[in-house]
Amino acid sequence: MRAEPSQAEAQWYYERSGQRVGPISFSQLRATVARGGLAGSTLVWRSGWLDWQPLEVTELSDLPLEAALDSVAAPAPSERSWYYEWGGKRLGPLALAEMQALITKGTLSHGSLVWRAGMSGWAPIESTELGEQLMRTTPPPLSGIAINNSVVWLLAVSPVLIGLLRYALALADAHGSDALADRLMNQNRYWAAGPLVCIALSYWDEAVLKKAGVNTNQLGQAWLVPVYLFKRAKVLAQSPAYAWVWLGLFILGVLADF
């Protein structure tokens, strides 16, 4: 028999104007109560319960009182109290309505780091009170398992592909002469093919991730290939195998040129 989930682990729903709102986490539900969005008579339900119940007869009954005490103990934040991270920069302060507009435009999405007065540190936007609007307007990104990795593996073996491309260009310029082609390669001709291929594949992969809903702002600059690959693996909770493959092939290519 499966154990009932704990309060923190459960997925919560509440009733508003005859509609079911959720699922949300306990922290999001608590934030909704704190904003005055739920009353003691509001019907709530969580995974593991048989039926809906008024909030005031559940283990949540103390939340309205806690919210009232918090509002007395802590001064209300100023209207423009929100900040968000973009490209390693802190932007703000913004009003709540301005943050909501950025969510609607897609500038802020799952994984975006935000902070407001009263928070102890930066947090993903979905774990704050803005998460409720985010869930209404933006589906979560696809998991790493569902994302197509074809392009990133092309990027992983790009040091080999670049070597083949450079030699093909040398053979074309040498009119098929292997000796002349080798001499052109030793002169490090066609070196620009390397950065161009890597940058093109990196931005192609970034476009794939954006279509899957991934917040690529977390990955840094796509043209910094090793940084991009390792951050990509971390954000998507994937094995960094493709990052190590690229790094190993790149080092072998450098050694082969000596």
How would DSSP label each residue in 105-169? HTSS-TT-EEEETT-SS-EEGGGSTTHHHHHHH-PPPPPTTTS--HHHHHHHTHHHHHHHHHHHH
Determine the Cα–Cα distance for residues 83 and 7; give it in Å rounded to an integer. 30
Determine the Cα–Cα distance for residues 252 and 258; give it in Å rounded to an integer. 10
pLDDT of residue 181: 84
Band (pLDDT 50/70/90 cuts) for residue 127 is confident
SS3 state of residue 54: strand
pLDDT of residue 19: 75
pLDDT of residue 75: 42
Band (pLDDT 50/70/90 cuts) for residue 254 is confident
pLDDT tens, position by position, 153-168: 999 999 999 989 988 9
* Mean pLDDT of all residues in 15-31: 78
pLDDT tens, position by position, 43-94: 888 877 888 888 788 777 776 655 544 444 444 445 678 999 887 789 989 9
* Range from 52-66, 116-130, 206-220 carrying the lowest mean pLDDT: 52-66
Is residue 5 a contact partner of residue 12, using CB atoms and an 8 Å limit?
A: no
- pTM higher than 0.75: no
Band (pLDDT 50/70/90 cuts) for residue 29 is confident
Report the length, in residues, of the chain: 258
Determine the Cα–Cα distance for residues 250 and 24; give it in Å rounded to an integer. 45
**Which residues have C-beta within 8 Å of that of residue 176, sequence separation ≥ 6?**
none
In DSSP terms, which residues pair with 16 in a beta bridge?
A: 19
Which has more pLDDT, 7 or 97? Answer: 97
Conformational region of residue 13, where left means phi above 0, alpha means psi within -120 to 50, and beta covers everything else: beta
* Range from 89-93, 94-98, 211-215 carrying the lowest mean pLDDT: 211-215
Most confident of 69-78, 83-92, 175-184, 199-208: 199-208
Average pLDDT, the chain: 81
Determine the Cα–Cα distance for residues 111 and 212; give it in Å rounded to an integer. 13
* Mean pLDDT of all residues in 110-136: 87
How far, in whole angstroms, is CA 142 from its chain's centroid? Answer: 10
Percentage, residues of the chain above pLDDT 70: 86
Other Cβ atoms less than 10 A from the Cβ of 219: the count is: 22
Paired tokens of 29: 């539900």
SS3 state of residue 82: strand
Question: Does residue 125 carry a pLDDT above 60?
Answer: yes
**Which residues have C-beta within 8 Å of that of residue 12, sequence separation ≥ 6?**
22, 23, 24, 25, 26, 28, 29, 44, 45, 46
Question: Does residue 197 carry a pLDDT above 70?
Answer: yes
pLDDT of residue 205: 93
Is residue 53 a contact partner of residue 69, using CB atoms and an 8 Å limit?
A: no
Indicate the burial class of 110 (C-beta count within 10 angstroms; 0-12, 13-18, 19 or more): middle
Determine the Cα–Cα distance for residues 171 and 180; give it in Å rounded to an integer. 8
In DSSP terms, which residues pair with 214 in a beta bridge?
A: none
pLDDT of residue 55: 75
Distances (CA, A) of 12 to 20, 27, 231: 10, 10, 32
